[in-house]
Amino acid sequence: MAGTNISVDKDQFSCSVCLEVLWEPVTIPCGHSYCMECIKGYWRKCELKEEYSCPQCRQAFSPRPALSRNTLLSEIVEKLRKTGLQEPATDAECDVCAAKKQRAVKFCVKCQTLYCETHLKLHNERNRGRPHQLIEVPKQAQKPICSRHGKLAELYCQTDRRCVCGPCQRDEHKGHSVVSVSEERMEKQKHLEEAWKKSRQRCKEREKELREIVKYIKRSTQTVQEDSDKVFLRLQRISERKHAELREMMRGEENTALAQTEKLLEKLNQQILEQRRGEAELEALASTRDHVHFLQVWKMNLLATPELSLSEPVQNCDSLCTPSELVGRPSIDVHPYFSLLILRKTLTELRDKVTEICDKEIRKISEIVDEEQDPHHPPPASESTPSSESGLRDPETARTEPRTRGDFLQYCCDLTFKPIVGSCSLQLSWDQTEATLDSDPQSCPHHPYTQIFCSQALSGHQYWEVEWGGSGGVSVGVSYEPNSEQKLGHDLKSWSLDLSESAFRHSKYNVEMQTPVAHRIGVYLDHKAGVLEFYSVRLVEDTMVLLHRQQAAFTQPLYPGFWLGSGSTVKLCRTFSFSA
């Protein structure tokens, strides 16, 4: 007997209730054996009927049989367990095959099922177009074995968050919430899919926001380009008009100069005719042969007629030998070419001045844009350039205050909350744009309220919108420094609007409002002008109602802040202006 090798199967020593190897086996009168705890638990369910039967053959017993440990079977099972009673290493089988099990080649994570090649094709055809994840299946099915009891760890303790076997459930995990590993896997799979869907949704929302931002930038750039084209087209038209006026002036000057020249030419022609007539007389006198006549004419200077009378008086004719100068010689006071030189110099100076002015204004625009992009940089005290609100607006209306919601949205800023370290009741969203204070006062008894500030310090022209709700009260305001100890609006360094009580507060200065407060509030800040305004925003009508306007001399950048009572919520709204 000692050398006999007996081959046994696990099913021969398995309990038909828990389907595990027998633990403290007992044998009932019909001859079937069970774990002691398994048969006791089965019979406890039958106490109301007072009928006790075998789970396998259904033979009834009355009264309830006494249970005693089967010593021989216990020893056999214990020896087999020590020698390594385990399942034979077999291939993973298909969960769908009914008769002869085929080797599984794929495992569907969504269906939690093993498939052979035949049933895998049917699975893929049935779920075509649906995201079912398939993974490889190892040739040898490896199942977790409890190191303490040597049984399969096919149960999951939700209390201790670990895989356990049947005896572990009865001993160490008695009274705990225990389910099968497949059920726990399905539950965790659902949470995993929900988390994946939420992550996918957040990615889509962020992509949508990025597309809106890109669209906003493109439209804003197009608007600026159109405005600049209009401005430079206007300058071009002004330059062309002035050029035409200059050409007209030059034509007038030309006509005036030509008219003066015509008069001078007439005088010159008259003098030339007289000169030629004198030359003809001299020529006639020079050709005479009568010496007496020649001398008489020379002396008398009689040039009226070529025939001279000897009885006429003789005058001095010395002047005939020397040609007389032209009397009243015409002259032009200013040389035309010299005037053109002066005009060319003036036009060159004009060109240089226009270029200098354009370069200076372009630098101003660049400085304004840089200042608007850096909210932490306060404007210089001696700045003489236009305010930053003229960056994207018509220069003629650059200094006018915004009136409509579209005008305010030009100055909207992207804000995020600054997390509070050690807060036990404040909850922030994943993108740090929504804050909720726990409504349970026991969660943080020392702080039934809290204050939270944004990470960004604001200066210049800024506008933001918030949505609020809850029963604990909410205050919206600004402060020089984030201070969680002093309530917002109750000192000289902060300004707040109490939305639940409809009152504005700044130190000892309180103003009650008569206008109803909406659940969406818009805040406008003109840091340089010292203007702080609160508006009630109604999205349906796209209107804004002024709640309070405060004039102050701000000396430092301001942090947006919020006071939240127990059970209140504040959400920073992301707003963009798409008006062309």
Angle at CA 66, nearest 5°, toward 62 and 71? 140
Structure confidence at residue 376 as a pLDDT band (50, 70, 90) = very low
So what's the pLDDT on residue 38?
A: 85
**461 or 484, higher pLDDT:** 461
Closest by Cα among 88, 95, 100 to 141:
88
Report yes or no: 488 and 561 within 8 Å, Cβ to Cβ: yes
- Any long-range contacts for 31-37 (C-beta under 8 Å, 24+ apart)? 32/56, 32/57, 33/70, 33/73, 36/67, 36/69, 37/170
Angle at CA 185, nearest 5°, toward 150 and 192? 145
In the predicted structure, residue 512 carries a pLDDT above the cut 90? no
pLDDT digits (tens, 9 = 90+) for 156-165: 888 888 888 8
Cα 532 to chain center, whole Å? 25
- Any long-range contacts for 539-544 (C-beta under 8 Å, 24+ apart)? 542/405, 543/405, 544/404, 544/405, 544/408
Q: Report the alpha-carbon distance of residue 385 to residue 394 in Å, rounded.
A: 15
DSSP line for 488-534:
TTSSTTEEEEETTTTEEEETTEEEE--SPPPSEEEEEEETTTTEEEE
Element (H, E) at 463: strand 461-470
So what's the pLDDT on residue 171?
A: 81
Please measure the distance between the N-terminal and C-terminal CA atoms of the chain and give it in whole angstroms: 100
So what's the pLDDT on residue 522?
A: 93
User: How large is the average pLDDT for residues 376-404?
Assistant: 44
Structure confidence at residue 328 as a pLDDT band (50, 70, 90) = very low
In the predicted structure, residue 478 carries a pLDDT above the cut 90? yes
pLDDT digits (tens, 9 = 90+) for 489-510: 888 889 999 988 888 998 888 8
- Strand ranges across the sheet with 178-180: 162-164, 155-157, 178-180
So what's the pLDDT on residue 444?
A: 54
Structure confidence at residue 42 as a pLDDT band (50, 70, 90) = confident
So what's the pLDDT on residue 160?
A: 85
- Residue 468 DSSP label: E
Report yes or no: 14 and 73 within 8 Å, Cβ to Cβ: no
Considering the four listed CATH numbers 3.30.465.10, 3.40.50.300, 3.30.40.10, 3.40.30.10, the one that applies to the domain covering 10-84 is: 3.30.40.10
The most confident of the ranges 61-65, 293-297, 435-439, 490-494 is 490-494
Hey, where are the domains in the chain? 10-84, 106-183, 184-299, 405-573
User: How large is the average pLDDT for residues 94-111?
Assistant: 82
Q: What is the mean pLDDT of the chain?
A: 77
pLDDT digits (tens, 9 = 90+) for 516-552: 888 899 999 999 889 999 999 988 777 888 999 998 8
pLDDT digits (tens, 9 = 90+) for 170-180: 888 888 888 88
- Residue 88 DSSP label: -
Reduced 3-state DSSP string for 379-443: CCCCCCCCCHHHCCCCHHHCCCCCCCHHHHHCCECCCCECCCCCCCCEEECCCCCEEEECCCHHH
Report residue 504: phi and psi, to 5°. -100, 140
So what's the pLDDT on residue 525?
A: 93
User: How large is the average pLDDT for residues 98-105?
Assistant: 81
The single residue listed with the structure tokens 């130190």 is: 507
So what's the pLDDT on residue 562?
A: 92
Q: Domain 405-573: which topology?
A: Jelly Rolls (2.60.120)
So what's the pLDDT on residue 302?
A: 46
Looking at domain 106-183, its CATH superfamily turns out to be Classic Zinc Finger (3.30.160.60)
Q: Report the alpha-carbon distance of residue 12 to residue 85 in Å, rounded.
A: 12
pLDDT digits (tens, 9 = 90+) for 115-163: 898 888 888 888 887 778 788 775 544 556 676 776 777 888 888 888 8
